[in-house]
Structure 1
């Protein structure tokens, strides 16, 4: 590639990073509100704590079900169309959740959460989209910047209870529907930014640079099977996917039950607005742990290697579930555990995603990325679904113990599949 092409690509990449980062700020509002209020709404509308994890399960199932279709759409039409379409579906899901709160229909709540999962699928695909034109030595940094941009929206989401209640009061609808109105507005803005400003399309530009003649609209392979075949043939890619999947399952399982655990601990004040606000604040700290230091995780990935950074993340996750499992009645310690849970997830996800991209050729990446995102989301759904019954049977410490076992198993697998120098 000549110097003019390099300069043009560098300018385009900087514009892509800015566009995706800005869009992520707004689109992150949707999942933040759903995650923070999901278990509470599920119990209120279903009447049973057994269904406490159902909203987060539906959210992650929605992400899993749409990750591969979005990757297929990206292969056929480019990243811009895929990301904007996903956000449009998530906006419709938010409207369904508002309808569920207004009508008290539990099934409508689950349908809305399922569609809001599209926003998570978009967030996941955006982190890979930013690597399409990234220089190999700066992939971790660029990927982490897009992940970091979710911080503002995702942290603000759980704290929309107060402003949302005011907005809902003006409109004469239930207070808990207010945060989702704000979420919908944020996703509308995010979709508009992607549709108008993600130019050039990073995936189509990558194809042009590589001499790939596949034109927009032409069918391409992006199925689950195609992604699995790519990952299966590369041991390092398998190790990266296993690590990302395990970290996500643990994070979702522990995080999704924390609001209910805090409600139990609050006792008679469980329904008090201050208790709900405290839950929102704790979840905000957890989400800040997930995203706020992601540039540091990207720097470490580029500096010391992706595999080492993933293992550091897994160690942080072990420390997190040790705190939540050993001292579950101490809310300060639980909060610290939730922050570490976010930090461990951040390291494992940023470095694991970078390791996956670095292992594969450009032609192999999009199918493998779709497979990784779908599997990651399915694991999150399984973790959330299992967390409710486990919580009912053996309590919050039981969830932490099982999470620790999963992380240890995944870390051993990563060490076996991956050259640690990477």
Structure 2
């Protein structure tokens, strides 16, 4: 299949097409946000219940994140070849299939099937993140971070509602003869399937294909310059290969720290007598903080230096670790504050890193490169999820929290070094 825009796309004004694309992406993100939040809330608890082991409670997060790594590559390659619409729809459909597999594993009380299903379920998480790139395809460089943030903030509604439906969906699951903790995956499966359907029907024009068409139309003018340099291509201002490295580093460290602390917070709260509803509320606040500040973050990144906001992400993550490590075990509020800071730090890092990467990569290889970048992010998340349970089992939750905050500071010297080179 050739990389051409659909029929009649060429006549659409760029801004009109961008508005339509953002509306569709926002709708899909609301749905997928509910899907990913449901799994975050009870995934670790379900594994702990089936395996009777706290040390392995971080394994579902690690397995799901490993699955998201494979999905990131696959979605990126499909998007590179055929456009964002089929790539994103395929990823969400895989997330729906994985959700159904988790329910089947819980009914059969089969840990092997559970981890296999969670691996597939990770595709939904990866696709939710990949959608942010689609929002930036048609955006002008000066407004790129704001376009990314518009897509991200849409996840807030589903992400906040999803965890708070843990108890009702658990009750529904019991009514259907399904284990209580598998209930949220009923919501996840339906949400991911509807997100795939919405993109398949309404994501037209395809943002990546249209962006390529528009760039091809501008290419002759860009290459035809007077004088001796007229036969030579002119580089695109602002695209720096070094930007890929620093963008990846920012997103990798924020993902690793966020997943590690987030994964074990519900387990830590459960072990100290807090209800599923309480941990669901904390996770809902966390996910809200991950996405709700996005419009402000996008404005800050576009208005001020990307590198300045990247450094801010490290400081927010450090503050989250300090608060979580010192939180009284019988109080919900400090955990909510800590995970709100954790979500904010992640948001700063993701919006900044995405803008840096998109600035640095040309359209010809954009989707494929972005998929590979998200593999690194997924691997970091898998590492954080796997290590979190082991650290808590051997040294305790406070050490995990403070250690994660300190680790996030590795972003700062990288940002300083990049700023000096520029």
Normalising by structure 1, we get a TM-score of 0.89
Q: Distance in 2 between matches of 1:302 and 1:53?
A: 36
The superposition leaves residues 45-89 of structure 1 with CA deviations (integer Å, 9 ceiling, x where unpaired) of 112112100111111111112211211111111110001111111
What residue number does 1:218 align with?
A: none
Which residue pairs with 1:332 in the alignment? 333
- Aligned with 2:137: secondary structure? coil
Matched residue SS, 1:51: coil
Moved more, 151-160 or 291-300: 151-160
- How does 1:11-410 map onto structure 2 within 5 Å? 11-211=16-216, 234-266=241-273, 275-327=275-327, 329=329, 330-410=331-411
Distance, in Å, in 2 between the alignment partners of 1:419 and 1:187 is 43
Whole-angstrom distance in 2 between the partners of 1:247 and 1:403 = 9
Q: 1:318 to 1:69 in 2, by over 3 A?
A: same
SS of residue matched to 1:130: helix
Kept in 1: contact 2:169–2:183 (CA 8 A): yes
Q: In structure 1, what is the Cα distance between the partners aligned to 2:30 and 2:111?
A: 29
The alignment of Structure 1 onto Structure 2 pairs a total of residues equal to 393
1:420 Cα deviation after fit: 9.2
The answer to whether the Cα contact below 8 Å between 1:298 and 1:350 also exists between their aligned partners in 2 is yes
Work out whether residues 239 and 414 of structure 1, in 8 Å CA contact, stay in contact via their aligned partners in 2.
yes
Instruction: Choose 305-314 or 69-78, whichever is displaced more.
Output: 305-314
Q: Is the 8 Å Cα contact of residues 328 and 397 (structure 1) preserved in structure 2?
A: no
Task: For residue 328 of structure 1, report the CA deviation from its aligned partner.
Answer: 5.3
Question: What secondary structure sits across from 2:415 in the alignment?
Answer: helix
Structure 1 match to 2:229: none
Q: RMSD of aligned C-alpha atoms?
A: 2.1
State the Cα deviation string for residues 378-398 of structure 1 (Å, max 9, x = none). Answer: 000001101111000110111
**Contact 1:236–1:418 (8 Å) recurs in 2:** no
Deviates more, 1:386-395 or 1:4-13: 4-13
| Offset of residue 7 of structure 1 | 6.8
Deviations 1:206-229 (A, max 9, x none): 1111229xxxxxxxxxxxxxxxxx
Cα deviation, 1:166-198, whole Å, max 9, x if unaligned, reads 322442322222221122111121111100000
CA distance in 2, matches of 1:20, 1:374: 22
CA distance in 2, matches of 1:352, 1:64: 17
In 2, Cα distance between equivalents of 1:85 and 1:390: 35
- What is the CA distance between 1:402 and its match in structure 2? 2.2
Give the secondary structure class of the aligned counterpart of 2:136: coil
Residues 114-136 of structure 1, C-alpha deviations (whole Å, 9 max, x = no match):
11111111111100011111111
Gaps of 5+ in 1: 213-232
Rounded Cα–Cα distance in structure 2 between residues aligned with 1:136 and 1:124? 20
Distance (Å, rounded) in 2 between the aligned partners of 1:389 and 1:43: 13
Q: CA deviation at 1:35?
A: 0.7
Distance 2:415 2:119 in 1: 31
CA contact (8 A) 1:240 1:414 kept: no
8 Å CA contact 2:80–2:366 kept in 1: the answer is: no
Q: Could you say which structure has the larger radius of gyration?
A: 2
Distance 2:364 2:355 in 1: 16
Secondary structure of the 1:50 match is coil
**CA distance, structure 1, for counterparts of residue 97 and residue 420 of structure 2:** 44
Give the Cα–Cα distance (whole angstroms) in 2 for the partners of residues 186 and 129 of structure 1: 20
- Compute the displacement of 1:108 (Å): 1.4
Displacement of 1:356: 1.4
Q: CA deviation at 1:156?
A: 1.6
Q: Shift of the alpha carbon at 1:331? A: 3.7
For 1:328 and 1:290, how far apart are their aligned partners in 2? 23
